[in-house]
Structure 1
Amino acid sequence: MTASRIVPGTTRWLSAVAALLLFCLSTMTAALAADLPSAQVEAEGYALIPNGRKDLGREAALQNAFRRAVEQVVGVAVESRTVVKDSELLNDKIFSKSRGFIKTYRITGERTENDAYRVAITASVSRHRLEQELDNVGLLVRKLGKPRVAVVVMEQNGDAPAAAGGIVETGLTGAFGKKGYALVDRQAMLAVEREVVRGHGDQTDAVVRAAAAGGAEVVIVGQAAARHGAAVGGTSLRPVQASTTCRAVDVNTGEVLATASSTQQALNVNPAAAGTEALQKATLELTEQLNRQLIAAWHKQLTGVRTLHLTVTDLPAVEAPRLREALKEQMGQVEEVRERGYRNHQLRLELEVCGTTRSVIDELASLNLGGSRLKISGYSSGTVQAHWTGPAKKGGKKP
């Protein structure tokens, strides 16, 4: 029997292949872990039986049931008036391919009614696929009023010094722009980025202040580093691991809306190119994590009760009780009114509200105040500034 002989260079080649397989496996694992829980719903479909063909009627009724199941989950994700307003868009982009969002289903009942067929099902609808598609057509972001977002990520690739405006920051900015978010002008963030580079430690507060000055409602701040390793198995291939972390912070309240992290690897003879590839892969995962959590956080705010800070200037003290009563009695979206102080004709209130800030603003501006009115002078997602305007005097002039 002839002894096996190891061909020179085989060990190094096998080591490189093994490393590549490890990178592929880690990427697949991350993708599989990203899926969200499904929504379990019950639905019934109905369709006419064409030319006595019950098989065709049954299939059409089943497809109708799939659509109704998806409609239920869409109704949770976007408010009813948005669904009505964009019904044609939803039909083209979502409902016409409802079957693609059904993970599993079970027929719980079926019957014929003269020339029609009915099918009842219990279905598992993929929230992940559905929310991705809704996000792709921009419905969720439009519902939120296209919040203004600023992105600042300090990035280091190899031995290069940490700097803002790198691969991750650029990638996140581009991805959120495509998803319909309104982005703060890049030039507005340059000053704070210079401050962050000169500073030490966590610079979140400085970034948030600068983002607020630039008109942002949310700032995504983070760090990214690509570390280069030694050549694999004596080859010229250099492995790189990119570690990234980001937080999305509400500029007005300081609340952390989302946190995300990603660790990705790449292999290349050029370590800088491997670092770029790993950082780009990390950016894709960060985008999905941050966007999913932001949508969930905002949806929770819109469907639940939250605090809105209202400041009214030029308000006579005698008018404060009338304003408080009007807020409680006339505003359907106000659950509770709490007074936080009155000084120099300025009243500070906390309103427990449900619904979007924009809809609350509309109700405030239309309050019946007996000839007086509130003039909205500014607002953000968590604060509203208003000016009290008294009734007009004789001759048409206001005081």
Structure 2
Amino acid sequence: MLQKRLYIVLFVAIIMIFNFTLSVLATDSVVVETEGKAYLGDDGLVNAEKKAINDGLRRAVEQAVGTFISSSTMVKNAQLIEDKILKSSQGYIKGYQVINKSIEDHIYIVKVKVEVGRKTLAGDLDALKLNIKRIGNPRIMVLLSQKVEDYYVDLPDGLAETEMMKQFIESGFQVIDRYKVDSLINREERRTIIAGDYDLAVKLGSQLKADFVVIANLRSNYIDLRKTLDGIAGSLKSYNSQVEARVINASTAQVIAAVTGDGKGVGVNKEMAAKKSIIEATENITEELIDRISNDLIKQEKTIQLQVNSVSSLKQLSQLKNSLPTLSGVINVYFREFANELLTFDIDLEPSVEVLDIAIELEEKLPFSFEVKSMSEAKLVLEIR
């Protein structure tokens, strides 16, 4: 009798835990309070506070996602559920509030109340826009080639490109105006870039101060419905559009995302059908591009290129090479090239670190002075005095 009661109690407990876990899994967001800390150095209170807030936000995401995973380990088949969470969780900041600030032993401490969301990032525009601002508000340039099979279908050549730019803007990205792009390149150069000339894409991106270049090809083909449908339905027109797109880091010429997609359209005439298919294909692929770019920027470390001009000795090279890995927020440093007094590195940084932070701290550590010649979200150019 006692053993039967124990089984009943155990069964009820398992049901309660399982229901609790389901409610956690269904929750779109959770509010947590954390502390963030930063060393109060010579760069002042403002930068220390900023670094402390970013540290608190990072800890909040870890805490929220960690709780989410821990709750799943209490149920049967916990490993399967935990694996699913690890693969699909998209922890991100939906909003935050600084509720206390203090300084102890040269450490700047902030207490923050943070709302951490768990939905797919691209599905929440407010959170997406906030995170885009936090990681430097990158600028995007779009070059898209659109081709419709039927020469007599009268649609704007820039229909798909305009639609893609519109979606990026609505998601919070800065997008470079198409007319500015076309004022610097001709049609042949545009075709060359879309065909895969990444060096030319980087050159154009640099001129327009773009951080990422999106290049895409879209083809729309007519589908004869008469072979499959009869009567009135058979008189409808149908098109299928296929699009492939790549995202290029404008500083390194590296492809950070490559996606494909399609869209279908049916209408009373070819123009209507082709337009519907083009818009659907563009919307589908842009949504995926936004998701890929956003998650890459927010969840992963970012890579910047450092160029140093007027490096006159191997000693200066060695001093730079030894100092870079010691900078705050630097994950990895890759020596790329040294020729004609020009030294190049690729540097992996934590998402919260800004290029300005690197320049300021590097100036403190090096025994020689330099001048900042140019600075962007993905590139820093210095010249030794």
* TM > 0.5: yes
Q: Match for 2:158 among 160, 166, 182?
A: 166
- Residue 281 of structure 1 deviates from its aligned partner by 0.9
Q: Please, which runs of 5 or more residues in structure 1 have no aligned partner?
A: 1-57, 110-121, 390-399
1:215 aligns with 2:209: yes
Tell me what 1:45 maps to: none
Give 3-state SS (helix, strand or coil) of 2:354's partner.
helix
Amino acid at match of 2:375: Y
Tell me what 1:254 maps to: 253
- Residue 357 of structure 1 deviates from its aligned partner by 8.6
Task: Name whichever of 368-377 and 234-243 sits farther off.
Answer: 368-377
Kept in 2: contact 1:264–1:281 (CA 8 A): yes
1:291 aligns with 2:290: yes
Kept in 2: contact 1:155–1:162 (CA 8 A): no
Can you list the C-alpha shifts for 1:146-170, whole angstroms capped at 9, x where unaligned? Answer: 2111111111233259998522111
Q: TM-score, normalised by structure 2?
A: 0.62
Number of corresponding residues: 303
Kept in 1: contact 2:251–2:304 (CA 8 A): no
1:387 aligns with 2:383: yes
Kept in 2: contact 1:248–1:256 (CA 8 A): yes
Tell me what 2:111 maps to: none
Tell me what 2:104 maps to: none
Q: Match for 1:195 among 170, 173, 187?
A: 187
Tell me what 2:100 maps to: none
Amino acid at match of 2:345: E
Q: Percent identity?
A: 14
Kept in 2: contact 1:148–1:215 (CA 8 A): yes
Q: In the superposition, relative to structure 1, how do residues 340 and 204 fare at CA in structure 2: closer, same or farther (>3 Å)? A: closer
Kept in 1: contact 2:251–2:305 (CA 8 A): no
RMSD: 4.6
Highest CA radius of gyration, 1 or 2?
1
Can you list the C-alpha shifts for 1:264-306, whole angstroms capped at 9, x where unaligned? Answer: 2221111101111111111111112212222343346417xx5
Task: Map 1:127-206; keep pairs closer than 5 Å.
Answer: 127=89, 129-137=119-127, 138-157=129-148, 158-159=150-151, 166-191=158-183, 194-196=186-188, 203-205=195-197, 206=200
Aligned mates of 1:68, 1:185 — CA distance in 2: 39
Kept in 2: contact 1:152–1:193 (CA 8 A): no
Give 3-state SS (helix, strand or coil) of 1:108's partner.
coil
Aligned mates of 1:294, 1:151 — CA distance in 2: 14
Can you list the C-alpha shifts for 1:45-91, whole angstroms capped at 9, x where unaligned? Answer: xxxxxxxxxxxxx9xx8799669995599x9xxx9944856999x9x
Q: TM-score, normalised by structure 1?
A: 0.60
Aligned mates of 2:355, 2:184 — CA distance in 1: 33
Q: In the superposition, relative to structure 1, how do residues 239 and 139 fare at CA in structure 2: closer, same or farther (>3 Å)? A: same
1:354 aligns with 2:359: no
Task: Map 1:259-278; keep pairs closer than 5 Å.
Answer: 259-278=258-277
Give 3-state SS (helix, strand or coil) of 1:152's partner.
strand
